[in-house]
Amino acid sequence: MSDLKNYLLKQLFKPSLISFCINPFFWGRSAIYLSVKKYAHHISGKTIDVGSGSKPYVNLFKNVTEYIGMDIEQSGHKHQSSSIDVFYDGETFPFKDSEIDSLVFFEVLEHVFNPDQFLSEIGRVVKPGGTMVVTIPFIWGEHEQPYDFARYSSFGLKHLFDEHKFEIKEHKKYLSDFRLFPLLVNSYIYTMFKKFLPGILAWLFILPFIFLNNMAGLFLYILPKNEEMYFGNIYVLKNNK
């Protein structure tokens, strides 16, 4: 059972035919993966992955000289499958001023209770002119409870970045089409069954629903986009401090 669980966990982050058939979060995870892949060339040199977990996107960054996974010890998930190089205390990053060339974080800001302090630390450790690639969810359920504190609109994010002198070089809203709805239905079904069955059994039990809903998303992808209803944002930022 543990081997099967590890295999399924690997399918969470990368789009593939197997993932399409078995992953309830396929449309969301594939949207993040493809967005990060598109902008990964902006990241180079000594790089921190903040909230790195298992470093699911490390192989996308071809221009880095050092890739450091940093996370916090007490979080909403266990670290058995994580690949963390350094822990931090939730307040101060364990790096010197302007030590870092580039920085990334993926689906992390919603778990930060003190965003101003968090972004100030990023501005401190990333060198002036350094680059950041970050993703932040918009429409998504509470997760990693109780460490889920916020959702940010694109306008709220622009305000935060402007306040911290992070210039927005590129911005894209991902999954702003009908595939968002099969994703939410899958998430609803999975979380409901997870209340009664251990995670892996709930996953196996709803596989037929997952496949049918993902197929619905595939066929209804032709419907118009709506950038007021979308899964999340990806930004390429420049540190102008």
pLDDT for 182 equals 95
- pTM across the whole model: 0.91
Query: In total, how many domains does the chain have?
Result: 1
pLDDT for 80 equals 54
pLDDT for 16 equals 87
Would you give per-residue pLDDT tens digits along the chain (241 residues)? Answer: 456 666 666 667 888 888 998 899 999 999 999 999 999 999 999 999 999 888 989 999 999 999 999 998 765 456 555 678 999 988 899 999 999 999 999 999 999 999 999 999 999 999 999 999 999 999 999 998 899 999 999 999 999 999 999 999 999 999 999 999 999 999 999 988 888 887 678 778 888 989 999 999 988 888 899 999 999 999 999 999 8
pLDDT for 1 equals 46
The 3-state secondary structure of the chain reads CHHHHHHHHHCCCCCCHHHHHHCCCHHHHHHHHHHHHHHHHHCEEEEEEECCCCCCCHHHCCEEEEEEEEEECCCCCCCCCCCCCEEECCCCCCCCCCCEEEEEEECCHHHCCCHHHHHHHHHHHEEEEEEEEEEEECCCCCCCCCCCCCCCCHHHHHHHHHHCCEEEEEEEEECCCCCHHHHHHHHHHHHHHHCCCCHHHHHHHCHHHHHHHHHHHHHHHHCCCCCCCCCEEEEEEEECC
Q: Could you tell me the CATH number of the domain that includes residue 229?
A: 3.40.50.150
Residue range of the domain that includes 48:
2-239
